[in-house]
Amino acid sequence: MAISRRDILKLSGVTAVATTINGCYSPNNPEPSNTTKTIKFNKAPIADSTNPRVVVVGGGWSGLAIAKYTKIFAPNSDVILVEQRHEFVSCPLSNLWLVDKIKLEYLTHDYLQAARENNYTYFHSTAIGLDKENRILQTSNGDIKFDYLVFATGIDYDYSRWTKDIAFETRLRQEYPAGFIPGSEHISIRNKVLNFKGGNFILTVPSGNYRCLPAPYERACVIADYFKQKKLKAKVILLDENNAITIKAKGFQSAFDELYGDYLEYYPNTVISKIDLDKKIVETEFDEINFEEAAFYPQVRGAKILEKVGIAKDAKNKLEGDINPLTYEVIGEKNIFITGDSRPMGFSKSGNTSNSEGQHVAKLIAQKINKTKKVKWYPPTTTCFSAVSIEPEKAIYIYTQYAYNKTTKTFNFASTHSSENWKKDGAVNAASIYNWADALYLDMFNNK
């Protein structure tokens, strides 16, 4: 079953592969400059303002929250959201779209509506450089002066553990995309799943703090269920670099064992040593596995734009932003912030976490604008529902916050609640997936 022409047109604004805004740099795009010296000012077509200007780069879950709540907490601010996509397509819940359980319309939302409803400016452009001294953000459509700047630029993939060959990496990205940056990757995987005729379908789980810890396990479940419903002679092979399932282990493992014994094989502590794309063979330390289709999810890092503009750690250290973990300020820069999945703290790289984090960063910026007393650190919240079956719909759930240890200067779980008994609570949890999504979409795109 191929994707419809209508769906392709809907995604036309978000399918540009490899752009700096979402962390995928392409030589076809203007190369970002890492500069703090004076640059020739080429004013972007944005109206001047005498109010404090806050520029937010990246229109994901964190960036949208910051843009909205900065205007709420500091109404006199001039907020500009810089985003290269024409429309928002959600990564959370996208696994259900891959197996034709929900419509694309449910994931797709309007940046213009968000800006209108919440009284900020949506500026369609790509960030390409930064003059920190003169507080100027360079974009592909002109330069923007700012008083405060936020990079909420998400992740990029790090294929270096698998290959140093750029041509081979390009083949992996194009032929077997990971599917954790919205747009073309999801279309490709959806078509792979819906058109699958049988055999092995390989999925991978990277080590480290990758984007959305439960999502690869959820994806394995729903694809296995889809194959099961279609009565295909097919199997999902899930290769996990981690020693065990990283989150909601009890719920996912029981689903693997009890629901998908003939349709899913789980390999923990499995590191890929070689991928032969022509012969379609994956080699690990102990096995050679043939495959008909795959989605290879490598390790992740912060968006490359952070390094290009000189506010990220060395490339060998994941390129996550170099920030004060309590204030989100870039080290040495009191007016530049990094938030969402590009920040280095070990919080879950997920939609709800990024949204709650964004609201807190908005308070920090508003405090500077309003010149009020300092805002205390507030822990982000991870609320996550994961489907384990689609016919019937069953899901598991986890809620957690974080605590900061002043002595060790580390973050730990503060309070955690989970519901992993999908036999007992699965239907209620499945319904809650949509209640959660409805509430967050309403928050980001409406004045509620």
Q: What percent of the chain has pLDDT over 70?
A: 90
Does the residue 402 lie in any domain?
Answer: no
Complete DSSP assignment for 194-241: HT--SEEEEEEE-SSS-BSTTHHHHHHHHHHHHHHHTT-SEEEEEEES
- Only one residue has tokens 């019937």, namely 392
- Burial class from Cβ neighbours inside 10 Å (0-12, 13-18, 19+) for residue 292 reads middle
Cβ 380 vs Cβ 357: under 8 Å: yes
| Residue 139 dihedral angles phi and psi, to the nearest 5° | -130, 170
Look at residue 315 and tell me if it is in a domain: yes
- Residue 86 class from Cβ within 10 Å (0-12 exposed, 13-18 middle, 19+ buried)? middle
C-alpha 448/C-alpha 430 separation (Å) is: 24
The side-by-side arrangement of strands in the sheet containing 142-145 is 33-35, 127-131, 136-139, 142-145
Q: What is the pLDDT of residue 318?
A: 52
Q: Spell out the residues 6+ positions from residue 409 whose beta carbon is closer than 8 angstroms to its own.
A: 325
**Cβ neighbours around 267 below 10 Å, total:** 17
What is d(CA 65, CA 58) in angstroms, rounded to the nearest whole number? 11
- With respect to residue 58, please indicate whether it lies within any of the assigned structural domains: yes
Answer whether residue 383 is part of any domain.
no
Domain enclosing residue 354, as ranges:
18-156+301-378
CB atoms within 10 A of CB 439: 13
Question: What CATH number did the domain enclosing 327 receive?
Answer: 3.50.50.60
pLDDT at position 413: 87
What is the rounded distance in angstroms from the CA atom of residue 236 to the CA atom of residue 213?
Answer: 18
Contact in structure between 95 and 387 (CB atoms under 8 Å)? yes
Q: State residue 38's pLDDT score.
A: 53
Within-domain flag for 194: no
Q: Is residue 410 one of the residues assigned to a domain?
A: no
Work out how many domains the chain is built from and give that number.
1
Query: For residues 106 and 93, is the Cβ–Cβ distance under 8 A?
Result: yes
Answer positive or negative: Cα dihedral of 245, 248, 254, 256: negative
Report helix angle 111-118 to 61-73, nearest 10: 10
Q: Does residue 288 fall inside a structural domain? A: no
Tell me: pLDDT of 165 over 70: yes
For residue 415, name the pLDDT band (cuts at 50, 70, 90).
confident
Q: Is 118 helix (H, G, I), strand (E, B) or coil?
A: helix
Q: Is residue 441 part of a domain?
A: no
Q: What is the pTM of this model?
A: 0.90
Mean pLDDT of 75-79: 98
* pLDDT of amino acid 259: 98
Average pLDDT value over all residues in the chain: 91
Once rounded to an integer, what is the mean pLDDT over residues 285-314?
92
Report the pLDDT averaged over residues 25-52.
Answer: 67
Strands laid side by side in the 53-57 sheet: 121-124, 78-83, 53-57, 148-151, 336-338
